C-alpha cells in the first residue's frame, strides 16, 4: 500500500501490510484502509496489491484472487484512492515451483484480472523475464530458494516506483552498470504499452498497463 506518509527524515515511505505466504483473502481490507492504521493519518492515494507468488498455479487461488481484487478495488475506490496490481516474478531453481511457463500463468492471471476490473498492472514479472532474456547470467533471485528477489531483483522492482532512479550513489562500478541495465529493462516493458487499450481514457504519453496482454507481452516473447 502506498500513501502520503513521511518518515522521520522527511523522505516518502510506503506503509504496507504483509502476511507471509498468504493470499489477498487473508487481509482485512476495511481495517487496513482506515486512516489511523498502518501509521497513516490521511487516506491512501494509491493501493498496490499482489497475491502469493504461486497463486497463479492453482485454479482455486486464481478464482479467489479475481474475487478479492474486485471486492478490494470497490472498497479502495469508495475511499477515493486508486488501485494497481503488482505482477509478481516467476520462480527459478531451486524453487520446486519453477517452470518455463510459470511467468505466462502469472502474466495471464494479473492481466486478465486487471482488464476485467479495469485497473493498472505493474509488469514487474515481465521485467524479470526480460532481464534474464538479455543477461542469462544475471542474479535477480536468492540462491537459497529461487523465489525471493536478491538485491538486484529488488532494485529492478523498485525501478517501477521510481523510473528516474539514479545510480549516482552506487559506489560499485559493476552494480552501477547493472542498475542502469535493470532500469532500462523496467522501461522496456512499460514503453511498449503506451498506446491506450480500447475504451480507456489514458493519455497517449502515459503507460496503460491494461494493454499489456495484447501488446508488450507478445512483443517481449517475439524479440
pLDDT digits (tens, 9 = 90+) for 56-111: 999 999 999 999 999 999 999 999 999 999 999 999 999 999 999 999 999 999 99
Residue 175: CB partners within 8 Å, gap ≥ 6? 151, 152
- Taking all residues of the chain, what is their mean pLDDT, rounded to a whole number? 76
Residue 203's pLDDT is 42
pLDDT band at 124 (very low <50, low <70, confident <90, very high): very high
Ranges for all domains in the chain classified under CATH 3.40.50.1110 = 19-122
Which runs of E-coded beta strand occur in 50-111?
82-86
Residue 27's pLDDT is 77
- pTM of the complete model: 0.75
* pLDDT score of 152 more than 50: yes
Query: Residue 177 is placed in which grid cell?
Result: 552498470
122 vs 169: which has the higher pLDDT? 122
- Using only C-alpha atoms, the chain has a radius of gyration, in whole angstroms, of 17
Q: Which of left, alpha, beta for 208 (phi over 0: left; psi -120 to 50: alpha)?
A: beta
Q: How does DSSP assign 180-222, residue by residue?
A: HHHHHHHHHHHHTT-SPPTT----TTS--GGGTTTTHHHHHHH
CA 180/CA 166 separation, integer angstroms: 8
* pLDDT score of 178 more than 90: no
% of the chain surpassing 70 pLDDT: 69
Residue 162's pLDDT is 53
Residue 199: CB partners within 8 Å, gap ≥ 6? none
What is Dmax (Cα atoms) for the chain? 48
Task: Note the CATH number of domain 19-122.
Answer: 3.40.50.1110
Residue range 42-66: average pLDDT? 93
In the block, cell 479467489 appears at: 64
Residue range 200-206: average pLDDT? 45
Residue 191's pLDDT is 54
pLDDT band at 213 (very low <50, low <70, confident <90, very high): very low
pLDDT band at 160 (very low <50, low <70, confident <90, very high): confident
Amino acid at each position: 500500500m502506498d500513501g502520503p506518509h513521511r518518515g522521520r527524515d522527511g523522505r516518502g515511505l510506503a506503509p504496507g501490510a504483509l502476511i507471509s505466504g498468504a493470499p489477498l483473502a487473508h487481509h482485512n481490507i476495511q481495517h487496513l484502509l482506515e486512516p489511523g492504521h498502518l501509521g497513516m493519518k490521511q487516506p491512501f492515494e494509491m493501493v498496490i496489491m499482489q497475491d502469493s507468488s504461486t497463486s497463479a498455479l492453482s485454479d482455486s487461488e486464481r478464482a479467489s484472487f479475481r474475487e478479492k481484487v474486485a471486492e478490494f478495488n470497490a472498497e479502495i475506490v469508495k475511499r477515493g484512492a486508486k488501485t494497481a496490481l503488482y505482477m509478481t516474478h516467476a520462480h527459478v531453481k531451486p524453487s520446486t515451483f519453477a517452470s518455463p511457463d510459470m511467468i505466462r500463468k502469472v502474466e495471464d492471471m494479473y492481466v486478465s484480472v486487471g482488464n476485467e476490473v479495469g485497473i493498472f498492472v505493474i509488469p514487474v514479472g515481465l521485467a524479470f523475464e526480460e532481464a534474464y532474456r538479455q543477461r542469462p547470467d544475471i542474479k535477480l533471485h536468492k540462491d537459497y530458494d529461487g523465489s525471493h528477489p536478491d538485491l538486484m531483483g529488488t532494485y529492478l522492482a523498485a525501478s517501477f516506483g521510481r523510473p528516474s532512479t539514479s545510480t549516482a550513489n552506487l559506489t560499485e562500478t559493476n552494480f552501477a552498470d547493472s542498475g542502469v541495465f535493470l532500469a532500462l529493462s523496467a522501461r522496456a516493458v512499460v514503453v511498449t504499452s503506451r498506446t491506450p487499450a480500447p475504451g480507456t481514457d489514458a493519455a497517449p504519453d502515459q503507460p496503460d498497463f491494461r494493454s499489456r496482454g495484447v501488446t508488450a507481452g507478445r512483443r517481449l516473447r517475439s524479440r
